[in-house]
């Protein structure tokens, strides 16, 4: 039987042998606390994908979907919907509109899509980054719309999905706030010549919450929830690009 000390010595003597026996650690994102200090909008999240996706043929980057965990979950749960239609997903869980505005240029404009689908605002209402200020949220959405349109990118503004309660922050009474922001979104879209992807009509249970089975926590869609959203998205995109 070989002596363990002899094996260790052999590993140290032969360059790379000992290192080859230990797999390299998987890359990891910084902790949430560290990232919020050093990269608040999380610009690094899609930096590598952006560098690669800029070189794609135009038909494979027709539309960028920017948003929060709802958009992120959409791509994660049904990647074929994105790949088969030439859509790129740029969702980051937990984000508010101010963070999306900061990353809007590298994650959307620089990719030169034909259109952008903006699904944003629910985390503002959830007070993920401080007290909800409707005027500030509206200004962020206006700025993203202006940036896109000034760059020749058609804009699809999504209605905020229905929500009766935030499980991570109960007691905020989001339903009326969602309805008010959605009414503003529809009016603003008409004013700016943007298209509305109105998910309310296919998701709302009539009381401002999500229909049974379409969200696993009352906020985030299930696969069935995304399935009823997809025809709405496709129709809105077709109108925007007509």
**What CATH number corresponds to the domain at position 128?**
3.40.50.1110
Distance CA 18, CA 59 (A): 47
Full-model pTM: 0.86
Q: Is residue 4 part of a domain?
A: no
Q: Is the pLDDT of residue 27 over 90?
A: no
User: Is residue 121 in a domain?
Assistant: yes
Report the pLDDT averaged over residues 87-114: 98
pLDDT average, residue stretch 74-87 = 98
Instruction: Answer whether residue 13 shows pLDDT above 80.
Output: no
**Is residue 58 in a domain?**
yes
Distance CA 231, CA 70 (A): 16
pLDDT at 214 over 50: yes
| In the predicted structure, residue 20 carries a pLDDT above the cut 80 | no
Confidence of residue 5 (pLDDT cuts 50, 70, 90): very low
Distance, CA of 68 to CA of 90 (rounded, Å): 8
Residues of the domain holding 95: 45-241
Asked which of 16-20, 25-29, 89-93 is least confident by mean pLDDT, the reply is 16-20
The reported pLDDT for the residue numbered 12 is: 33
Is the four-CA dihedral 25, 31, 37, 40 of positive or negative sign?
Answer: positive
73, 150, 173 from 208: Cα distances, Å: 21, 35, 11
Structure tokens that stand for 128 in this block: 């993920």
pLDDT exceeds 80 at position 184: yes
| Beta bridge partner(s), residue 221 | 215
Q: How large is the average pLDDT for residues 14-22?
A: 36
First-residue to last-residue Cα distance in the chain: 75
For 119-162, the pLDDT digits (tens) are 999 999 999 999 999 999 999 999 999 999 999 999 999 999 99
State residue 189's pLDDT score.
98
Asked if residue 133 lies in contact with residue 177, where contact means CB atoms within 8 angstroms, the answer is no
- Check residue 22 and give its pLDDT: 40
Please, which pLDDT band fits residue 28 given cuts at 50, 70 and 90? low
Domain count, the chain: 1
Strand runs (DSSP E) across 69-198, as ranges? 87-91, 115-119, 154-158, 195-197
In the prediction, which pLDDT does 31 show? 73
Average per-residue pLDDT in the chain? 90
**Kind of pairing, strands 195-197 and 154-158?**
parallel
Position 171 in a domain: yes
Does some domain include residue 108?
Answer: yes
């Amino acid at each position: 039987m070989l002596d363990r000390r002899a094996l260790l010595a052999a590993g140290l003597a032969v360059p790379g042998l000992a290192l080859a026996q230990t797999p390299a650690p998987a890359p990891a994102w910084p902790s949430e606390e560290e990232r919020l200090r050093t990269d608040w909008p999380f610009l690094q999240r899609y930096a590598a994908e952006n560098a690669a996706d800029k070189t794609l043929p135009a038909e494979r980057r027709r539309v960028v979907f920017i948003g929060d965990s709802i958009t992120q979950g959409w791509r994660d749960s049904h990647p074929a919907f994105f790949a088969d239609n030439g859509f790129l997903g740029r969702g980051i869980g937990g984000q508010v509109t101010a963070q999306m505005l900061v990353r809007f240029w590298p994650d959307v404009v620089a990719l030169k899509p034909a259109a952008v689908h903006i699904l944003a605002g629910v985390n503002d209402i959830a007070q993920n980054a401080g007290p909800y200020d409707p005027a500030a949220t509206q200004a962020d959405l206006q700025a993203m719309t202006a940036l896109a349109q000034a760059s020749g990118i058609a804009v699809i503004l999504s209605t905020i999905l229905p929500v009766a309660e935030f499980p991570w922050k109960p007691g905020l009474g989001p339903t009326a706030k969602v309805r008010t922001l959605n009414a503003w979104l529809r009016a603003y879209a008409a004013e700016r010549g943007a298209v509305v992807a109105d998910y309310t009509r296919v998701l709302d249970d009539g009381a401002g919450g999500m229909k049974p089975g379409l969200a696993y926590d009352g906020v985030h869609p299930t696969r069935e929830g995304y399935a009823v959203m997809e025809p709405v998205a496709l129709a809105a995109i077709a109108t925007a690009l007509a």
